[in-house]
Structure 1
C-alpha cells in the first residue's frame, strides 16, 4: 500500500468554518468558532484518511494574489472580517502545538503550494488527499490525487470526494478542463470575471464540445448560441487572462521535506493546554491524561478516613486563616470532602464509618467561625451541611461570575486556567467520565478522591487572585454586600420551597384540556378540515394557501408561523387568534399543569433552584422548575397561581416594586422632569402621553396612555423605532417620531443613554449604580446587527442590573430581619421585582412593616421606591 499525504488549504477551511458554524468565544473574549470548526474537520478527515504525512498551506498574508501583475482582477476581494482575522494566528499556534507542518511562500497562494506538493508527492508514488473549500483545486484531481471539499447541508458538514473520474461524472469535464470552465464562466470568489453572457451551462457545453478556450475561439463561428459566440469573439483576451488566473501553479519553489511533515502524536501537552485556554472541552478526551498531566499534583493528595486522623486534620485547619473546601454530593447523598490546608497539603475525607454527613457538617460549621472556607459553590455545599449566615466563606464561582458574567459555567478547571496562570487541571468529566458521584463512591474509585482534592486545591488557590481582581474592578462591595449574603437567602428559599395543591393542579390541567379541545374543534371548523395544529408546515398551508390569508412569509421549510407573524394577523382573522390561544394553553398544560405535578416532592412542596450566575445583568433566574415564567397575560394563565398555597396558619404576603426600572432610569439619568413627575405621584404614563402629544393631562386617551407606556418601558430596553412599530402596530416613521418626542420631553435621558454606549465602547463594559459590570464585546463587532444589539445592551444593562441589585439587597435585608426577629414567617419566592412571604397570621403586621421598610430602604434614589403589597390564601389572591 502506498504512503499517503494529506494537504490542507488553511485559509479556505478556516474561512468555511467561520461562515458555516456559530461563533464561539474563549474565556478571554477571543473569537474561536472558526478554529474550533477547522479542528473538527481536521480530526474527522485524519480519522478517515489515516495519512502518514500532513501539511497545512497558508497564503503569506491576507489577501495575497497569485498573479501580482494583474492586481485589478483580484484586488477587490473583501477584506477578512476582524473576527476571522484574529483567529488565524490562533489556528497557527494550535497547529504548531500539535506538531503539524505549515507552509507559505511570498508571492504564492496556498493553492499554488498545494498544487506543487500534490504533483511532487504523486511523482514519488504517494497517494495524495487535498482538503479545501475551493473548487479550483479540482483541477489537481487524478487517479492518485483525491480532492475533498467540505460543505454544509442542513446544519451538518458533509465532505465531497473527487478523483478524476468523479470530476468528469459531476462536471462533465476533465480536471484540467476545470481551468477552461473558469476562463469562460469566471469565479466570483476569486474575482475572476470570465466573459459576459456565458454561464455554467454554456461554458460546460463549449468545453465539452471544443476542449479548450483556444479551440472554442478557433471555431467560434460554429457556436450556435449567438450571445456566447459574440461574447467569446469580443472578450477572448479576457477569457485568456481569466484562464491564467484560474490555473494553479504546480512548480512553485516551495521548500518541503516529507520527513518534517510526518504525522506524530498530535495530542501534546501544549495542544492540551491551548484547548483548555480556548475552552475546547469536547476535544479534551482525545488526550492521554497521563501524558498531558505529567506535572500531576496528586502526590500532594492524602486520604484521611479514620476518626482520630480527621479530628487532628480539623484541628490543624482551625489554625489556618483560610482553607479550600469541596463537598461531593447530590440529591441521593453526601460522599466525601476535599480539604486543602495549603497548596501542598490536600486531604480527602470519604463519608464512611465515623465520618458521616452530620459529622462533616458539625466540623465545617465550627471551622467557619474563624477560618475562611473557600468553595467553588457555597450554595451547593449548603445542601449537605448547615452553616450560619455569618459563617466565613468565600464563593469562587460567584466571584468569577462577577468578573465575567458572560460565561455559561464557572468550573474549577476553568478558574484554575483563568486565575492560576493557565494551570491545567483535569475536569470532572476527564476524571469520572459519565459515571455518577454515587456510583464512583460505591465503587471506591480513586478518581473521586482526585476530584475532591482538585476542587479544594483550586478553591484555596484562586481565592487570592479573585479577591484582588474584585477590588481592582471596584466590585468587592457588590460581592461582599450583595452576592455573598444572597447565597444564604436563596439557600433558605430553596429549602423551604412552596406548597402546591396536587389535586387542584390536576383539576386546573383538566380545565385546560377542555378549553384546548374546544379550540381545536373551533380551529378545524374554521379551516374546513382536520389537521395537526402543532405542525408549523401544515398550519402554514392551511392559513396562507387554503384560506388565502395575506402576510405569509415562506421559508425553505414552508411558511413561518412564528408568534410575531400570527400576532399581527390575529386582530383581523379569528382563526389566528384561536391558534394563539391554543398554543398558549398547550404550553400551560405541558409546562405547568403537567410539569409542576412531576416535581412536587414528598413534603408536598416544590423546591425550585435559584441561580445567581446565569444572567449577564445580575438578575436571579429560577430553574427545575422555572417559577419566574408563569404566564400573567391571560386570566387562565394567572389562575395557575391558585394552586400555590401557604401552610395552615399562614397567609401569603406579596410585595412588588412599582415601576422600579423607570425609577432607576429617572435617578441615573438625573432627568428633572421625570424625577418631578414621580415626586408629585403622577400617573407617569399619562403624564408622558400628555407631554409627548402636547395635550392636557385630562384629555389623554387610553390608547395614548398605552402608547406612552410602551415608549416608557421600551426606552429602558433600548428599543428601536422598528421594535416600537412592531409593538404598537404603527409605521416605523410614526414610532421614530414617538421616540424623538420622548427624548425632547425628557432631554437628559437621551444624553444618559448615549453616554452609556460611549462608556461601553471606551471601556468595554457598562456599570450599575452599585458598580456591577457588564462587558459589551458586541460594540466592537464588525457586524452591524451585533453592534446594534451591543448598543441596546449598553443602554439597558445598567438600568436592569441596578434594579436587580436593589431587589437582591431587599431580599437579604428581609431574610435577615425575619431571622433576627425570630419570626416563623419565611421568604419563599422571588419573581423579578416581587417577593412572596409565607407569613404566620399573627405576624402579618410585623412582616408587612419589614417588607415596607427593607424594600423601600434598599436604595436611596432621587425618586422614592414604591411597593405594592397584597395578602391572600393563595398566590393568585396575594398578587
Structure 2
C-alpha cells in the first residue's frame, strides 16, 4: 500500500439509536424522572472511546442524518414512511451528543439534504481513491455495497467484520453486486419494496446465475414460477428501487467538489479536556469527570468544534485593520438604524451587501445587511445571528420595512458585487430593489474578461487591499459553519469590509469605463441584462414531472437493452464504464484495431476512439449510445423534477454572466444550454418544459446569426448578397464551391457546404473538415481553397483578424466588447493555433452574445409596457423562450421578431423566427 493513513467513518445515526436502546434510563439528576435523559449520551461516549482505542485514525468523522427531506423523499414519497418518530427523550439528547463527540476529538458531520449513508459513501470512495484505508463503523448492512479492497466495515457491537470476503460470505454475492441484491430484496426498514416473495437466497441465486440485475431483467422471461411472475410484474419499479437503495458517492458536501473532500478538514483531533470536564459535570457523569487527568482546558484540536475558527478570523481582522483606518458600525438599536437610513437617503451612491444562509439565490434568507456610503465607513445590521453570545438584534421584518422605501426607490442609486444575487435575496423577503446602477463584478467582466472577478481578487488587484475571507470566518470543508453562527463582531467586520471594498473597487473601475465609449456601452448592456436575467430567473419554468418520469423509465429500459446487446456482442457481461474492461473486450477478445494510446501507453477507449471504431464495429456504437442515454437520464430526466422549487412549483435556472470570455451566458442548476438536441431522446426532454392551462410556450430564435455576423464583419460581397436576397446560404455556398447552379445543388452538396460554412467560422482546418465529412484531407483542402476563391472577403477577414490579435492581444465584437487572447503569441504551437482559431470565431460568438442580450433587454421593456402577462422564461443560445396567454400569441408573433431584428443595424438583415406550442419542443 502506498499510503498507510486511515480514515474512520462512524455511522452516528446508527450509533445513537443503539446507545439509546442499550443503556438504562439515566438522568442528569439521578432518580429524578423530570430531569434530562442522558442514557444515549453516556452510551455514545462509551462507544466512541472504545472505537478510538480499537482503530487508530488519521482522519475521522462521525456522520449523522440532518433533519429534512432528501432526494429519495422526492423520488418516492413513501420512503421511510412507516418509521416511528424519534422518541422525545432521544431527540433531546441529539445536540449534546454532537457536542460531546466533538469534544472527544471526532469531527461531526450532518449535511442538510444528504443522508448520512450518502455522506459516508462520498467520503469513503473519495478517500479510498487517494490511497487512504477506510474503516466504517456501523451495523447497517446497506453500507456493504461500499466495501472494496480499501473500504472495510466493522460492527463493534458484535465483532463482525465486512470486508470483500465477509460480505460475500454473509450475503452470497460480492460487494459489487450488493446494490442489485438490495434492489431485488428491498429494504423493509426504509419502506423500499423489492420483488415480492424474493428473499436473500433467491436474489443471490439469480445474481450468481445471471451476473447482474441488468442481465437478469433482460432475461426475465426465462424465470419460472411465481418468482418469475413477480419479477416481471416489478420491472417498472426496479429502476426506482435501485436509485433508492444505491448509496450516492458523489454528493456535494456543503459546496465542495463531489469526490474531492479535503481530508485535512476531518483530521482526528485531540480530546478537549477542559470542555469535556465541564460537559461531564453538566450531565452528571461524575466518574468520567474524575477520570480526566489534565487540570487545564486544552486548546481546540484541528477538526474539533467550539470556537474553532476564532484565531484565523481574529488574525485576518487584525491584519485588515492595520492596512487602513476604517470606521465600521454594528447597528443594534432603532436610533442607530434611523441614522444610517438618513445617510443612505442622502448618499449619491451606496454599496449594499447581504449575508445569507444559502448560495441558492431563490432560497437564500438574510442573516445580515451591510452598507457603505463613503470609503472607509460602513455599517452592518445583524438580523439572524444565533448562539449564546449573540447580542439582541433588531427584528428582521421590521428592519426591512424601514429600509423598503430606500431599497425600492429607483432614484436612490445603489452599487453591489453581483447585484443579481442580492436582488433575489431581497425579493425572497418581498422587496423589489430598484436603483442598482453599478456592479463591480460586471465592471471587471467588461474591462478584464480574462481575469478573476471575485471581490477579494478585485480589491487586491485594484486597491492593494486584502481582508477577511469567508473561510476565515466559517471554516472550510465539512466543518464549515453557517454564517448565522459567526460572532456578530467578526461578521460585521467582514460584511462592512465587503461593502467598503466594493465602493473602493468601483472608484477605480468606473472611471476606466467612462473613458472608453464602446466599453461603457457594453457595461451598460450587461447591467440591463442583469435586470432582465433576474426577471427570467424569477419567473422560472413549469416542469411536467410525469413526462420526465415516463422518459426516465423508457431510457432506463433502453439502457438495459443496450447493456444486454453489448454483452451478446462481447460474448460475456462486463462493465460498460470500465476503460480496462473495454480495452480487454475490444482489443484482446474481439481484435479491434488500436486507434491510439494514452500517455501511459495504455490502449485508449476514449470518446474519440469509440466514434472512430463505431464507423466499422457494432460494439463501440452500442457503448456510445449507452453513454449518451445514461448521461441524459442522470443529468436531466432523473433530476429536473427534483429541482422544482416547492414554493413556486417551477424550476429556476441560474444564469452566470461573468463566466464565458465571449459574453455568452452560462446556465446551471439546471443547465438548459447543454440539453442535447441532435438526438430524438434529447429533444424529447424539452417536452417536459410546459405552460399551465390557458397558456402556451413560444420560442423566438435568431436564424443563422453567426453566419450573418460573418457576412457583416468580413464584408464579402457574395456572402452579403446571399443574405440580402434571402437565399438559402448553404445552398448558395454549395453552388459556389461545386460550380453548379443553385437549383442543381444536391442535398449532399448542401450538407457539405453547411459543414464548410460553420466549420470555417470555428477555424476548422482541412484535416478537421476531412474528418467531419469523412473524406480525404486533400479533397477537403480543395473545398476550402475553392470556398476562399468564391468568398475572398472571408479569407481577408481571417488573415487581418489574426494579425490584429497578435498585435493587440485581443479582438473585438461589432459593438466593442473586448475578447482577450493570452496565448495568441505563445511559443507553444498548439496553444497559439487554438488562440488563432478563437480570434476568428470570438468576434462572431461575442457579437451574437451582444445581440441576444440587446434583444432580451428590448423585448422585456416592451413586455413591461404592453404585455405584463407575457413572461420571458428562458434564454438559450440565440433563442428567447416565453410563456404567454393563448390570446397574446398573434401579438408576440408580430412584435417580437421585429424587436429582435431591430436591435442593431448590420449590413445584412437580422431574422428571428417564432414557434408556438404546448411545450418547448413543440414551440421549437
- For Structure 1 versus Structure 2, the TM-score category normalised by the shorter chain is 0.5 to 0.7
Distance in 1 (alpha carbons) for counterparts of 2:397 and 2:453: 26
Shift of 1:732: 2.3
Aligned partner of 1:852 in structure 2 is 897
Aligned partner of 1:821 in structure 2 is 866
Partner-residue secondary structure (3-state), 1:492: helix
Answering whether residue 833 of structure 2 is matched by residue 833 of structure 1, we say no
In the TM superposition, what whole-angstrom CA distance separates every residue of 1:795-846 from its partner, at most 9, and x where no partner exists? 1111100000000010111111111114211000011011110011121122
Distance in 2 (alpha carbons) for counterparts of 1:488 and 1:328: 21
Gaps of 5+ in 1: 1-154, 158-283
Distance in 2 (alpha carbons) for counterparts of 1:613 and 1:526: 48
Residue range with higher mean Cα deviation, 716-725 or 612-621: 716-725
Contact 2:734 2:749 in 1 (8 A): yes
Shift of 1:575: 2.2
Answering whether residue 840 of structure 2 is matched by residue 799 of structure 1, we say no
Distance in 2 (alpha carbons) for counterparts of 1:541 and 1:705: 41
User: 1:53-132 maps to which residues of 2 (within 5 A)?
Assistant: none
The change in CA–CA distance for 1:676 and 1:372 in structure 2 (over 3 A counts) is same
Answering whether residue 685 of structure 2 is matched by residue 640 of structure 1, we say yes
User: 1:249-648 maps to which residues of 2 (within 5 A)?
Assistant: 289=316, 292-293=319-320, 295-297=322-324, 299-329=326-356, 330=358, 331-351=363-383, 354-356=394-396, 359-360=399-400, 363=403, 366-367=406-407, 368-386=409-427, 391-407=435-451, 409-420=452-463, 422-434=464-476, 439-555=482-598, 556=600, 558-602=602-646, 603-648=648-693
Distance in 1 (alpha carbons) for counterparts of 2:601 and 2:771: 25
The change in CA–CA distance for 1:834 and 1:357 in structure 2 (over 3 A counts) is farther
655, 670, 673: which one aligns with 2:718: 673
Shift of 1:285: 7.6
Contact 1:375 1:395 in 2 (8 A): yes
Distance in 2 (alpha carbons) for counterparts of 1:357 and 1:720: 62
Distance in 1 (alpha carbons) for counterparts of 2:745 and 2:378: 70
Distance in 1 (alpha carbons) for counterparts of 2:366 and 2:561: 50
Aligned partner of 2:908 in structure 1 is 863
Gaps of 5+ in 2: 1-128, 132-310, 385-392
Distance in 2 (alpha carbons) for counterparts of 1:654 and 1:700: 31
Distance in 1 (alpha carbons) for counterparts of 2:340 and 2:767: 64
Shift of 1:416: 0.9
Shift of 1:476: 4.0
User: 1:780-795 maps to which residues of 2 (within 5 A)?
Assistant: 780-795=825-840
Contact 2:528 2:857 in 1 (8 A): yes
Shift of 1:370: 3.0
Aligned partner of 2:35 in structure 1 is none
Contact 1:770 1:802 in 2 (8 A): yes
Contact 1:305 1:355 in 2 (8 A): no
Shift of 1:312: 2.0
Distance in 1 (alpha carbons) for counterparts of 2:587 and 2:402: 67
Contact 1:652 1:836 in 2 (8 A): yes
Contact 2:872 2:880 in 1 (8 A): yes
In the TM superposition, what whole-angstrom CA distance separates every residue of 1:134-171 from its partner, at most 9, and x where no partner exists? xxxxxxxxxxxxxxxxxxxxx999xxxxxxxxxxxxxx
The change in CA–CA distance for 1:397 and 1:355 in structure 2 (over 3 A counts) is farther
Shift of 1:322: 1.1
Shift of 1:294: 5.6
The change in CA–CA distance for 1:332 and 1:442 in structure 2 (over 3 A counts) is farther
Contact 1:361 1:385 in 2 (8 A): no
Contact 1:307 1:355 in 2 (8 A): no
Aligned partner of 1:29 in structure 2 is none
Residue range with higher mean Cα deviation, 741-750 or 555-564: 555-564
Aligned Cα RMSD in Å? 2.5
The change in CA–CA distance for 1:551 and 1:690 in structure 2 (over 3 A counts) is farther
Aligned partner of 2:777 in structure 1 is 732
Distance in 2 (alpha carbons) for counterparts of 1:383 and 1:451: 21
Aligned partner of 2:888 in structure 1 is 843
Aligned partner of 2:191 in structure 1 is none
Shift of 1:652: 0.2
Partner-residue secondary structure (3-state), 2:700: strand
TM-score by length of 2: 0.62
